[in-house]
C-alpha cells in the first residue's frame, strides 16, 4: 500500500463541516486504490487565534510543509452581536483585530510560507446543474474555463502598506500593487502550460491602461508568447473581462491574472456554474506540497446550521455544500499526488450524486427531481451517496 500524509486545516465556520465530508471521501477512495492516508489536523485562522493567539502557528506551517498535501476548509469570522454606544451591531468575530491578528492573515501567511504562487481555479458547468445557474441555459451550458490566479504577490503583499495620516491630519490607509518580472514570468509560464493542456487559448487579464504593474505584466506575457506559438494569446482589461464573463463565458478557456483580479473574477465565474459551493482550487509552487481549498469562505450565514437528519446515513447534514472541497480533493489527488485513479473515482461519485438529483440548497433548482420538501431530505443525502457511489 502507498502511504501519504495529509495536513487537514479545517479552519472556521463551514470549514470543519466540508472538511469532514472531504476526509471521508478521501478515505473511501484511497482504500479502493490501495492508498492509506495519515491525517494530521492543525489549527489555522480564527480557530488558531482562539487556541494559540496567532492565526498561523509555526507548528501548523512546519507540519504542513512536511506533509504530502494540504487540504484547507475556510477561515474567517462568524456573526456576533456586540454592544456599541447602546445599540446592537452585527459583526464578524475577529474582524476588529489588528491586521496581523486576523484569520485572513493566517491564510495569506500560509500561502506565502508554502510558496504556492500559482492558484488554479477551474469553473466548469456540470450538465446536471445548468438550471442552477442564474444565467440563461444557452449562456451557461458547456462553460469550461480556468482562472490561473497569481497568489503570493500583487497588492495583497506589496509594500509600502499601512495606515498613516495625510497633511490635513486625516487617517489614510494605503496598499501597493507590485509585480517583479520573475513573479510575472513564473505565473505566465504556468498559464501557457495550462492552456496547452486544454484548448490552447489564453486570455491575460490586466489593467494596463492605468496601472504600471499591469503594463509590465502585459509586456512580460507578450514576450513569453513567442515561446508558445501554438497558444492563441489575447489581452483584456479587467473591467471588460468582468462583463464578458457574464455576456459570453464560453469565449474563455484559460485566464491568467493577478492576485486581486483573480480573487474577484473567480467568485464571479463560480456563479456561472450554479454556486460558489462548487468551485475547488489548487495552489502550487515550484517545490513542496500543494495547498488545496474551495474558493469560498467560512459562510457565517449558514455555518453550524443543520438542514436535515439523514435516516440511511444516521447523520445530521449541514447546509453547506461540500462539493467544492470534495472537488479540491480531486485536484489534490491529480496535481498533488498524481493518483489519477482515486481522483477519477471521486469525480465519478460527484457526477453520480448530481445525476441522482441530490442537492444542497445553493444548487437546488425547482421542478428538477423532487418537490422542495422531499428535495431537502433527499438532496441532503450527500454524505451517504458520495460514499455509496464510490463503491
Ligand atoms: P463566503 O464565501 O464565506 O460566503 C458568500 C456567500 O456564499 C454566503 O451567502 C454563503 O452562505 C455562500 N456560500 C459559501 N460557501 C458555500 C457553500 N459551500 N455552500 C453553500 N453556500 C455557500 O464569503 P463572505 O461571506 O464574503 O466571507 C465570510 C468570511 O469568509 C470572511 O471572514 C472572509 O474573509 C472569509 N473568506 C475566507 C476564504 C477562504 O478561507 N479561502 C474565502 C473567502 C472569504
Ligand atoms: C480567497 C479569499 C482570500 C483571498 C481571503 C480570505 C484572504 O477571498 O481565498 O479567495 O482574498 O485570497
Ligand atoms: Mn476570494
**pLDDT category of residue 373 using cuts at 50, 70 and 90:** very low
Q: Which of 267, 335, 344, 388 is catalytic?
A: 267
Ligand 2 binding pocket (C-beta < 6 A) is 76, 104, 107-108, 263, 295, 297
CATH code assigned at 142: 3.40.718.10
Q: In this structure, what DSSP letter does residue 276 have?
A: G
Of the listed ranges 169-173, 188-192, 261-265, 360-364, the least confidently predicted one is 360-364
Task: Report the nearest-CA residue for atom 25 of ligand 1.
Answer: 299
- The CA distance from 192 to 256, in Å, is 9
How far does the centroid of ligand 1 lie from the alpha carbon of residue 166, in Å? 34
Same domain, residue pair 253 and 305: no
In the chain, the number of structural domains is: 2
131 is catalytic: no
Same domain, residue pair 272 and 289: no
Same domain, residue pair 272 and 130: yes
In this predicted model, what pLDDT tens digit does every residue of 294-307 receive, in sequence order?
999 999 998 988 77
Question: Is 207:218 a contact under the CB 8 Å cutoff?
Answer: no
How far does the centroid of ligand 2 lie from the alpha carbon of residue 276, in Å? 13
- The CA distance from 190 to 177, in Å, is 21
Same domain, residue pair 130 and 108: no
Q: Pull the grid cell for residue 197.
A: 493542456
- Of 116, 263, 325, which is best to mutate to test ligand 2, by the most ligand atoms within 8 angstroms of its C-beta? 263
Same domain, residue pair 137 and 59: no
Q: Which of 156, 179, 228, 364 is catalytic?
A: 156
- Residue 254: name the closest of 273, 271, 267, 241 by CA: 241
| pLDDT tops 80 at residue 188 | yes
Provide long-range contacts, Cβ within 8 A and 24+ apart, for 48-56: 48/106, 49/94, 49/97, 49/101, 49/103, 49/106, 53/101, 54/101, 54/106, 55/101, 55/102, 55/103, 55/104, 55/105, 55/106, 55/107, 55/109, 56/105, 56/106, 56/107, 56/109, 56/110, 56/113
Same domain, residue pair 14 and 155: no
Residue 295's domain comprises 1-117+285-391
Same domain, residue pair 264 and 131: yes
Q: Pull the grid cell for residue 384.
A: 451517504
Taking residue 276's Cβ as centre, other Cβ atoms within 10 Å add up to 21
Select from 208, 242, 276 the last residue of a domain.
Answer: 276
Select from 247, 276, 305 the last residue of a domain.
Answer: 276
In this predicted model, what pLDDT tens digit does every residue of 69-114 receive, in sequence order?
999 999 998 766 656 555 555 677 888 889 999 999 999 999 999 9
- Chain-centroid distance, C-alpha 95: 21
156 is catalytic: yes
Same domain, residue pair 258 and 220: yes
Same domain, residue pair 134 and 265: yes
Select from 243, 276, 309 the last residue of a domain.
Answer: 276
Same domain, residue pair 264 and 186: yes
Overall average pLDDT of the 28-50 stretch: 95
User: Apex CA 291: angle with CA 289 and CA 296, to 5°?
Assistant: 175
Amino acid at each position: 500500500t502507498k502511504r501519504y500524509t495529509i495536513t487537514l486545516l479545517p479552519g472556521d465556520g463551514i470549514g470543519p463541516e466540508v472538511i469532514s465530508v472531504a476526509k471521508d471521501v478521501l478515505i473511501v477512495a484511497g482504500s479502493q486504490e490501495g492508498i492509506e492516508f495519515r491525517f494530521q489536523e492543525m489549527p489555522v485562522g480564527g480557530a488558531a487565534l482562539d487556541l494559540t493567539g496567532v492565526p498561523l502557528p509555526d507548528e501548523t506551517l512546519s507540519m504542513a510543509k512536511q506533509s504530502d498535501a494540504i487540504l484547507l476548509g475556510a477561515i474567517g469570522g462568524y456573526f456576533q452581536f456586540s454592544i456599541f454606544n447602546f445599540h446592537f451591531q452585527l459583526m464578524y468575530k475577529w474582524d476588529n483585530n489588528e491586521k496581523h491578528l486576523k484569520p485572513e492573515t493566517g491564510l495569506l501567511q500560509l500561502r506565502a510560507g508554502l510558496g504556492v504562487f500559482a492558484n488554479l481555479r477551474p469553473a466548469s458547468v456540470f450538465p446536471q446543474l445548468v438550471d442552477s445557474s442564474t444565467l440563461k441555459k444557452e449562456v451557461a451550458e458547456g462553460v469550461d474555463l480556468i482562472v490561473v490566479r497569481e497568489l503570493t504577490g500583487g497588492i495583497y503583499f506589496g509594500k509600502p502598506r499601512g495606515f498613516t495620516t495625510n497633511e490635513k491630519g486625516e487617517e489614510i490607509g494605503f496598499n501597493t500593487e507590485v509585480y517583479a518580472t520573475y513573479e510575472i514570468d513564473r505565473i505566465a509560464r504556468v498559464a501557457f502550460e495550462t492552456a496547452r493542456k486544454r484548448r490552447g487559448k489564453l486570455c491575460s487579464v490586466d489593467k494596463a491602461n492605468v496601472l504600471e504593474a499591469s503594463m509590465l505584466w502585459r509586456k512580460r506575457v507578450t514576450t513569453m508568447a513567442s515561446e508558445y506559438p501554438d497558444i492563441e494569446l489575447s489581452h483584456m482589461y479587467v473591467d471588460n473581462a468582468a462583463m464578458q464573463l457574464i455576456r459570453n463565458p464560453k469565449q474563455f478557456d484559460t485566464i491568467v491574472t493577478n492576485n486581486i483580479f483573480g480573487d474577484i473574477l473567480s467568485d464571479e465565474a463560480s456563479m456561472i456554474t450554479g454556486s460558489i459551493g462548487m468551485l475547488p482550487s489548487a495552489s502550487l509552487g515550484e517545490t513542496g506540497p500543494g495547498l488545496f481549498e474551495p474558493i469560498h469562505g467560512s459562510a457565517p450565514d449558514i455555518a453550524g446550521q443543520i438542514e436535515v437528519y439523514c435516516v440511511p446515513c444516521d447523520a445530521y447534514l449541514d447546509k453547506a455544500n461540500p462539493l467544492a472541497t470534495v472537488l479540491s480533493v480531486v485536484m489534490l489527488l491529480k496535481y498533488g499526488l498524481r493518483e489519477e485513479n482515486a481522483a477519477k473515482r471521486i469525480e465519478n461519485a460527484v457526477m453520480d450524486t448530481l445525476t441522482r438529483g441530490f442537492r444542497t440548497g445553493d444548487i437546488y433548482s425547482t421542478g428538477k427531481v423532487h418537490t422542495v420538501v422531499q428535495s431537502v431530505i433527499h438532496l441532503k443525502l450527500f454524505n451517504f451517496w458520495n460514499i455509496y457511489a464510490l463503491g
